[in-house]
A and B are shown apart, each in its own frame.
Chain A
Amino acid sequence: MDLLGFGDLLLSGTWVTVKLALTSLVFGLILGLLGATAKLSRFWPARALATLYTTLIRGIPELLLVLTIYFGGSMILMAIAEQFGYTDYIEISAFAAGVAALSIAFGAYSTEVFRGAIQAIPKGQWESAQALGMTPLKTFFRIILPQVWRLALPGLGNLFQVLLKDTALVSVVGLNDLMRQAYVATGSTNQPFTFYMAAALIYLGLTVLSTGMTAWLERRANPADRRAAA
């Protein structure tokens, strides 16, 4: 891939995009699991907080979230640091702001996916675990969570596709991702269509790759279905 000598630049941007997507995925999954646990908790303030989180985040554009965290985040951090006597200027990198915004968004949507998956597990399994003398925490980690993975996988796969495409938004605050590098290449060659089309095709390749990965994971997680299909 040469593209008038800008192929390497686009590839380096692709790598940043992939890193951003995977890092946000990890934090987003943690947020989602926490959110789902809070939503199913018997403690009502936890439920209320989780509902507030998912309703707010799902109603606000991801771009607005990226901009707020990038421009407002350093203000909040400085205000907190000031309480501890640190008065220097703090700046948030575009990558960190991107990870924060994208994982918060991913967490809000995956909360619902995880909640659905946890609720889909028959209540009898909780009861039999209790009958065996397991604590609720132990039941969750040993019985429920391993099955949640299988049930949540299709939903999470879709969300990851959305996340992958949303990484392009972080280019707006100056992260050197694929989108940004296409923009840079456009600036010095004056061939916007060529470079944005190249970027689009790379994104398309990434989404195809992630669809394939999800299908593979789904097959691995469902030995019973696999046998039925064979």
Chain B
Amino acid sequence: MSWDWSVIVEYFPRLVDGIWVTLELVFLSGLLGLLLAVPLALMRASHNPWLRALPFGYIFFFRGTPLLVQIFLIYYGASQFEAVRESVLWPVLREPYWCAIIAFTLNTAAYSAELIRGAIHAIPKGELEAADAFGMSKAMKVRRIVLPRAFGIVLPAYGNELILMLKSSSLASTITLLDITGAARTIIARTYTPLEIFLAAGVLYLIITAVMIGCFRLLEMRLNRHQHYKMPAELTAVDPRLKD
């Protein structure tokens, strides 16, 4: 076995191009997924059993089946129906890029909805009762108390979900997209140096993961800053009870 560093150097720009595709896939579908997840989670936490059933079925299906099947179902499956091929949606559903975005969005929305639902349940009951006592309407309570609190609680878990998404985004390479993994596979098809190129691709994924973990730490400190708040010294000097 010969190890060839030069092949990494030569094809590195191609892998770097793949980074942008990977990041676009993760952040676009992460954002759309979050927008879809919030109403799903609110429905899931509702008291009406009919309203709860719909998101339950959706979450059950998308969490219980492999992402690869979901991608193929959308990319290959949609073309089975004449009605889809003749509809205005066809130019979108024909593109592997948009199919990947749709599949990732639907998938991550299901996982995130469960996380947000858990966070909504974790909000101390007293805070919701306090909102009621102030005479807040249901919508205002959701907007001002439930969602901001839920986001602070869900953040660490959501960071993990986004990292899992980053790893899942490599599946886009199975429908011809040139993300990091896709670029690596096309390079290897030409050079036949799988170990070198996959190593380089793996290192890129590790770096992105590390950066994402760092960003989430910062965001967490900002959103949950009430937990780290320290009373200014002048105030505690006046009244020591303010310390805690």
Contacts and interface: CB of A to CB of B under 8 A. Distances in A.
Contact of B72 (A61, A165, A196): A196
Contacts, number: 117
Which of A62, A72, A169, A172 has the most C-beta atoms of chain B within 10 angstroms of its own C-beta?
A: A72
B68 A67 contact: no
Interface stretch (A139-147, A197-205, A216-224): A197-205
B171 A63 contact: yes
Contact of B205 (A60, A76, A179): A60
Nearest to A191: B80
B123 to A, nearest CB: 24
B1 A75 contact: yes
Nearest to A56: B206
B67 A76 contact: no
B65 A60 contact: no
Interface in B33-70: 60-61, 64-70
A75 B72 CA distance: 31
A167 B65 CA distance: 11
A192 interface: yes
A54 to B, nearest CB: 12
Contacts of B64: 203-204, 207-208
Interface stretch (B150-158, B194-202, B221-229, B234-242): B194-202
B46 to A, nearest CB: 24
A199 B184 CA distance: 29
A7 B166 CA distance: 34
A193 interface: yes
A194 interface: yes
Q: How large is the interface on B (under 10, 10 to 19, 20 to 34, 35 or more residues)?
A: 35 or more
Which of B65, B77, B185 has the most C-beta atoms of chain A within 10 angstroms of its own C-beta?
A: B65
Interface string A80-99: 00100000000000000000
A204 B68 contact: no
A192 B65 contact: no
Interface in A92-123: none
Given A64-B205, A67-B185, A72-B198, A186 B76 contact: yes
Given A78-B1, A196-B72, A203-B64, A62 B167 contact: yes
B109 to A, nearest CB: 17
B233 interface: no
A165 B65 contact: yes
B172 to A, nearest CB: 10
Interface of A: 56, 59-64, 67-68, 71-72, 75-76, 78-79, 82, 165-169, 171-172, 179, 182-183, 186, 190-194, 196-197, 199-200, 203-204, 207-208
11 contacts: A63-B174, A67-B185, A72-B194, A76-B1, A79-B1, A169-B68, A171-B68, A179-B66, A192-B73, A196-B72, A204-B61
